Amino acid sequence: MGAEPALPTPARRLHWRSVETEFVNWLLSRVPADPRLEVPPGDDAAVLRPPAMRRTVVTVDMLMEGVDFIPGPDCPARAIGHKALAVSLSDLAAMGARPEAAFVAVSLPRAGGDAIGRGLLEGISALAAEYGVTLAGGDTNAWDGPLVVSTTAIGSVPPGAAWRRDGGRPGDLIVVTGAFGGSLLGRHLAVEPRCREALHIAERFQVHAAIDCSDGLSLDLGRMMAASGTRAAIRLAAVPIHPDAVRMSGQPGDGRSPLEHALADGEDFELIMALPPEAAHALVAAAGTPPLGLPITIIGEVEAGSGLVAIAADGSRSPLEPRGFVHAFDS
| CATH at residue 310 | 3.90.650.10
State the pLDDT at residue 173: 98
How many Cβ atoms sit within 10 Å of the Cβ of residue 86? 24
Helix (H) or strand (E) holding 132: none
Task: Tell me, yes or no, whether 6 lies in a domain.
Answer: no
Report d(CA 302, CA 304) in Å as an integer: 7
State the pLDDT at residue 159: 97
Q: 201 and 230: one domain?
A: yes
What's the predicted TM-score (pTM) here? 0.90
Q: Which domain holds residue 220?
A: 173-319
State the pLDDT at residue 18: 52
Task: Tell me, yes or no, whether 331 lies in a domain.
Answer: no
* One-letter identity of residue 222: G
Task: Tell me, yes or no, whether 23 lies in a domain.
Answer: yes
Q: 226 and 315: one domain?
A: yes
pLDDT tens by residue, 185-213: 999 999 999 999 999 999 999 999 999 99
State the pLDDT at residue 15: 45
State the pLDDT at residue 41: 82
Spans in the chain with pLDDT lower than 70: 1-20
The angle, 0 to 180 degrees and rounded to 10, between the axes of the packed helices 77-94 and 195-204 is: 10
Q: 185 and 310: one domain?
A: yes
What total number of domains does the chain contain? 2
Give the contacts of 297 (CB within 8 A, at least 6 positions apart): 175, 176, 238, 239, 240, 284
Is residue 259 within 8 A of residue 239, CB to CB? The reply is yes
The C-alpha torsion from 62 through 67 and 72 to 73, rounded to 10°, is -90
State the pLDDT at residue 19: 53
Q: Please say which residue of 157, 191, 225 terminates a domain.
A: 157
State the pLDDT at residue 1: 46
State the pLDDT at residue 16: 43
Is residue 207 within 8 A of residue 93, CB to CB? The reply is no
How crowded is the C-beta side of 233, counted as CA atoms within 13 Å? 17
Q: 103 and 220: one domain?
A: no
